[in-house]
Structure 1
Amino acid sequence: MGHALHDRVAVITGGASGIGRATAVRFAEEGADVVIGDVQPGDETLRLVEKAGRRALYVRTDTTLEADCDALVAAAVAEFGRVDVGVASAGVSSAASDADRVARLESDAGHVTTLSTAAFQRVMDINVTGVMMTSRALARQMLAQGTAGSIITIASTAAKIPIAGAAPYCVSKAGVWMLTKVMALELATTGIRVNSVGPGFTTTPMWDVAEDSPSHQWAMSITPMHRNGTPEEQAAACLFLASDESSFVTGQILHPAGGQFTD
């Protein structure tokens, strides 16, 4: 266990599973108390954080609701007195189930010409507006405290790579990346840093595909390291951006993505 986040308070949306859970555990191992916001039960994440020797709080949070985003941060302050770090990890790949999404990537069923407006809007509501409202609530609290802080959004390599059949996801993640840059500029003189992690293909409930599937084979064709990443590898990138090791870094996106981008 390290001390990179000793006695800091971190709020993580989407912390019940995947990258959010791994980040919560890593932050706890580095000395942070953690507040988990998710629509899914957070019992397992709470157990792992407490196993790491830190305090944990779960707040049921629907990030598409402004009141929930504000209440999550308020609950963190009520329990721990302040917020030092925020990770906006809640997101979806599509309005459909993950299995349906993979099937659509292997056909033309998800193309814009056949895409419903409601399905597109649902992804925007969660992935863009939800991240904005989460980040806004975090920034407002940090400003009220008068303290420095770090806000980390979770984007994707899909913020920069167009994927046929995945317009809602690609557009939403590009929006997250631009939101991150704008907020970083707006807050640059306050001590509040805003950065993004843009994962490549990572083994999570959102990307759980068989190695012999066309989707996996395509993914590996654009991943030079020819493997999926792990949630723990994404959490390590979040830790860097959350810690003082990145004190002069803002408005940037890190891509733990197995070499998808080499420029």
Structure 2
Amino acid sequence: MGNALEGKVAVITGGASGIGQATAVRFAEEGADIVVGDLAPADETLRMVEKAGRRGIQLRTDTTSSDDCDALVAAAVSEFGKVDVGVASAGIATAAGPSNVQTRAAGERATHVVNIATETFQRVLDVNVVGVMQTDRALARQMLEQGTGGSIINIASSAARIPLAGAAPYCVSKAGVWMLTKVMGLELAETGVRVNAVGPGYTATPMIAGIEDNRPAYEMAMSITPMNRLGRPEEIAATCLFLASDESSFMTGQLLHPAGGQFTG
């Protein structure tokens, strides 16, 4: 346990499970108090935060609602007096729920662009792009008002750079998160507010639960993962910690890939 975020306050969307939860816990271990925004209850996350010796609160948050995003940041300020770090981790793989890799492995073409319904495509963009933008905007406005800088971290994906047949909504949305990160990083570069992104590869989270028991899906994922294993949420959280801490103080507008070697070629 270190003190890289000692005295900091971190707001994390999607913090009830997966990468968001692992990041909340790691940040708490490094000294931060935690504010979780999620549609799902985050009681387990808060128990782990408190076990790490820090305080945490949760607020039911739909990131597609700008009012919810603003309320989440306001709750952080009301409880802790400020916001130093934000992690936009809330996201979905598909409008229907199953992960992209499992849908693709089933050999179905219903999710190809020529067959996909507009509302299905739109739903993923609403959550993964608009939701991240509204989260970032609320965080940045507060950080600018404070005048003390801050770090915003967006969870993108290696799919921001790898086209996956049958996963257009997800790939396009994560590419959008990447570009949003670059634009906001540029816009805020002189303010002390840094904006970076993390693009994980295939990671053992609820989003791809059961993939190891689905042989075609697992083999498809491993075919583009040279390390030949799934990432752990804690490994993604460690990358988020680097971007949240002063160790990355000269970095903004960047996308880092803890992805098992997917971009070695």
On whether the aligned pair clears a TM of 0.5, the verdict is yes
Is residue 2:11 matched to residue 1:11? Answer: yes
Distance 1:134 1:158 in 2: 21
**SS at 1:54 equivalent:** coil
- Residue 65 of structure 1 aligns with which residue? 65
Q: Is the 8 A contact 2:139 2:152 kept in 1?
A: yes
RMSD: 1.2
Quote how far apart the aligned CAs of 1:105 are.
4.4
1:39-50, aligned counterparts within 5 Å? 39-50=39-50
Is residue 2:193 matched to residue 1:192? Answer: yes
Quote how far apart the aligned CAs of 1:210 are.
2.2
Q: Is the 8 A contact 1:180 1:195 kept in 2?
A: yes
Q: Normalising to structure 2: TM-score of the pair?
A: 0.97
Q: Is the 8 A contact 2:73 2:83 kept in 1?
A: yes
**SS at 2:90 equivalent:** coil
- Residue 227 of structure 2 aligns with which residue? 225
- Residue 240 of structure 1 aligns with which residue? 242
Distance 1:103 1:92 in 2: 14
| Residues 133-163 of structure 1, C-alpha deviations (whole Å, 9 max, x = no match) | 0000000000000111000000000000000
Structure 1 gaps, min length 5: none
Q: Is the 8 A contact 2:102 2:214 kept in 1?
A: no
Structure 2 gaps, min length 5: none
Number of aligned residues: 263
Is residue 2:120 matched to residue 1:116? Answer: no
Q: Is the 8 A contact 1:94 1:101 kept in 2?
A: no
| Residues 215-251 of structure 1, C-alpha deviations (whole Å, 9 max, x = no match) | 1101111111000000000000000000000000111
Quote how far apart the aligned CAs of 1:213 are.
1.6
Quote how far apart the aligned CAs of 1:113 are.
1.1
- When structure 1 is superposed on structure 2, of 192-201 and 105-114 the one drifting more is 105-114
**SS at 1:10 equivalent:** strand
Change over 3 Å in CA distance of 1:211–1:142 after alignment to 2: same
- Residue 83 of structure 1 aligns with which residue? 83
Change over 3 Å in CA distance of 1:99–1:178 after alignment to 2: closer
Is residue 2:149 matched to residue 1:155? Answer: no
Q: Percent identity?
A: 71
Distance 2:215 2:169 in 1: 22
Distance 1:248 1:59 in 2: 32
Task: Please identify runs of 4+ aligned residues in structure 1 that moved more than 3 A.
Answer: none
Is residue 2:207 matched to residue 1:206? Answer: yes
